[in-house]
A and B are shown apart, each in its own frame.
Chain A
Amino acid sequence: MLRTEEITLNMGPQHPSTHGVFHVVLKMDHEVITEARPICGYLHRGIEKLAEARTYTQFIPYTDRLDYLAAMLNNTGYVQAVEKLMEIEVPERAEYIRVICCELSRIASHLIAVGTYSVDIGGITGFMYCLRDRERIMDLFEMVCGSRLTLSYMRIGGVAEDLPDEFIPALCQFLDEMPSRLDEYDGLITGNEIFQARTKHVGLLDPGVAINYGISGPNLRASGVFWDLRKNRPYSVYDRFDFEVPLGKRGDCFDRFTCRIKEMRQSLKIIRQAVEQLPEGPVMAKVPKVLKPPAGDVYHEIEGAKGILGYYVVSDGSNKPYRIHVRRPSFINLGFLNELCKGWKIADVVAILGSLDIVLGEVDC
């Protein structure tokens, strides 16, 4: 094949389909990508360092700002890590509320993933429909904790406040309407032939390679690997719910996309069971006002919206963490971007990057 002069193209840091300030330096032979070098750090805020100057409770609002599309999951991962370190028993009701909120957060995050992916491929309508339904979740969160995006609802030992009375009816209404909405996305986006032509058999991710690169979440499951921490290593009360883990077959962009839609259905199923089983009782364990975890370290990971979200907390016995490190799934999922893009056309880079569903707040931390 004829080789042309290699050209370098900067995609980003200001580019709508990088979903934030992300920079990819593309080296191309004609239209074919020979190298895609990701450069991140444009949104680095030093959150891990900020944690060292804050008390354990004061760090909770900062976890919202990691993956800001699924703040509840970030909150939960952190507070569960500290609870593990302090050996705090969380009340039943708080655990169920956490599950409900986490799964709502997962749906909200996947709605953005599905919607923006539709935009990346060129169908703006799908995005509008997804955001319409995400708005409902935002309203539910507003009822629970007063904020819509940066929720800071979880506390070490439970949750900030009990659910308001109007929450459960509103949630049930949402649960009733959501399945038909998901069918709409399937009709609008998944079934669209142009969309399928752009995504099927594009950006194939081999399961073995995916595991080696530490890729997790829907991206890994789309390659057919059964790895969901809610099933494989149940934390909180996830072992009490009956749900399936959707898997893909080929590991292409289309599978990664459909995996998210299927996961939303499973999340709805979990929320419904959690609402039915929701016990009465306190929502906060008895914890001292000033939290001083014993000296030591702990690593705790949960199944985040983007993958395995881990918190490593080191305590020196004072009221402030000595060190916090976050295993951010978006960042680790990006590690394979170069190999994934190689050999594909420039237009496919957008499709591949979009299918990985990164959020830059989490990539850069």
Chain B
Amino acid sequence: MFGQGLLKGLQITLQELFTKKVTVQYPEESLPLAPRFHGEFVLDVEQCIACSLCANACPNKVIEIETAKLDKKRVLTGYMMRLQYCLFCGLCVEACNKGAIRFSQKFEMAKYFRDQIPLILYKGEPPVQEEQGNTGITAGEAEGTEV
């Protein structure tokens, strides 16, 4: 009989009417996220040794690290991520030996203006050192050959 298939389809949609509702009223409530969710980045400044492994692992040169020499030791003075270019692939998190850069569960990262997009994870005072002055170099400049 022609039309049997149509009736079958209607039967399926009718059954769906009586199943449990799955709609989540988003801004008020939200679903739990997976522990490995790739959300916004957080930096544990205490752990970071400014080795630039994350910046070098990034396919898109998103991470800009500023360092300064302090007693022949490299210290972090700035950590900025140009999130507009970020692929959220997680290669930087994987590259970090210290577990300093991590993903958080925050996913609401929309901004009203473009200049608000870069994520400044650390902007420290330049270390007080009279002789050396400002020796801050950026990771991008240090690896200037990769274009």
Contact = CB atoms under 8 A, between A and B. Distances in A.
A139 to B, nearest CB: 8
B6 A61 contact: no
Interface string A42-64: 00000000000110011111101
Nearest 9 CB-CB pairs, A to B?
A191-B5, A58-B59, A61-B89, A146-B36, A146-B38, A152-B89, A142-B34, A187-B8, A143-B34
Given A146-B38, A147-B38, A60 B89 contact: yes
Given A59-B59, A193-B3, A142 B33 contact: yes
15 contacts: A54-B59, A58-B58, A139-B34, A145-B90, A147-B38, A147-B89, A150-B89, A161-B36, A164-B34, A164-B36, A187-B5, A187-B8, A187-B12, A194-B6, A196-B5
Interface string A112-131: 00000000000001000100
Given A53-B147, A188-B13, A142 B6 contact: no
- Secondary structure class of chain B's binding surface, majority of residues: loop
Interface string B2-32: 1111101101110010000000000000000
Interface residues of B, number: 29
A288 to B, nearest CB: 14
Interface in A68-109: none
Given A188-B13, A192-B9, A58 B36 contact: no
Nearest to B56: A55
B5 A193 contact: yes
A150 B88 contact: yes
A57 B33 CA distance: 27
Contacts of A146: 34, 36-38, 90, 103
A150 B87 contact: yes
Contact of B94 (A62, A143, A160): A160
A58 B91 contact: yes
Contacts of B9: 125, 187-189, 191-192
Contact of B8 (A143, A144, A152, A191): A191
A152 B103 CA distance: 15
Given A125-B9, A129-B16, A194-B6, 13 more contacts: A53-B146, A58-B58, A59-B59, A61-B91, A143-B34, A145-B36, A146-B36, A147-B90, A150-B89, A152-B90, A164-B34, A188-B8, A188-B9
A146 B147 CA distance: 29
A164 B35 contact: yes
B100 interface: no
